[in-house]
Amino acid sequence: MLPEQNENSTTTLNWTTPLPGGGGGRGGGCPPVGIQLEGLILPPVLTIDVILGLLGNVVAIWIFCFKIKAWNPNNLFLFNLVIADFLALVSLPLRIDALLRGHWVFGDGMCRINLFLMFSNRSASIALMTVVAIYRYFKVVHPHHRFNRMTKRQAVFVSVFVWMLVISPRVPMLAYNHIKGSGSNTQCFFFTSYKEASRAIIILVSMHRILTVLEFIVPMAMLLFCSIRISCFLRQRQIGKPDKVRKAMRVCAVIVVVFMVCFLPTTVTTIGVWVIRSYRPWDCTSFYTFTQLTIVSLGLNFLNSALDPIVYVFSSSMFRKALCSSLPRALRCTTGAEDGKNTVSSTGSQLTTQQELQSMRADRGSEAS
Q: Rounded to the nearest 5 degrees, what angle is found at the Cα of 146, between the Cα atoms of 141 and 151? A: 115
What integer pLDDT is reported at residue 51 of this predicted model?
A: 92
Give pLDDT, residue 194. Answer: 38
C-alpha neighbours within 13 Å on the C-beta side of residue 17: 28
- Which amino acid would we find at residue 110? M
What lies within 8 Å, CB to CB, of 359 at 6+ separation is 72, 148
What are the distances in angstroms from CA 354 to CA 348, 349, 361?
A: 10, 9, 10
Supply the pLDDT for residue 157: 94
Residue 30 CB partners (closer than 8 Å, separation 6+): 15, 16, 17, 284, 287, 288
* Contact of 186 with 107, CB cutoff 8 Å: no
Q: What is the pLDDT of residue 91?
A: 85
**pLDDT of res. 115:** 87
- CB contact at 8 A, 126 and 219: yes
Q: Which of 2, 81, 107 is nearest to 45 (CA)?
A: 2
Q: Which domains does the chain have, with CATH numbers?
A: 2-13+38-328 (1.20.1070.10)
Residue 246's identity, in one-letter code, is: R
- Give the chain's residues under pLDDT 70: 1-38, 190-198, 238-245, 247-248, 314-316, 330-369
For helices 107-141 and 152-167, angle between their N-to-C axes, nearest 10 degrees = 140
Three-state SS at 188 = strand
Q: What is the C-alpha separation between 54 and 47, in angstroms, rounded? A: 11
Q: Are 238 and 246 in contact (CB under 8 A)?
A: no
Residue of 242, 248, 364 lying closest to 316 (CA atoms)? 248
pLDDT of residue 93: 92
CA distance linking residue 350 with residue 280, whole number of Å: 59
What's the pLDDT score for residue 163? 93
- Residue 326 pLDDT: 72
What pTM was estimated for this model as a whole?
Answer: 0.73
Nearest to 125 by CA among 158, 174, 86: 86
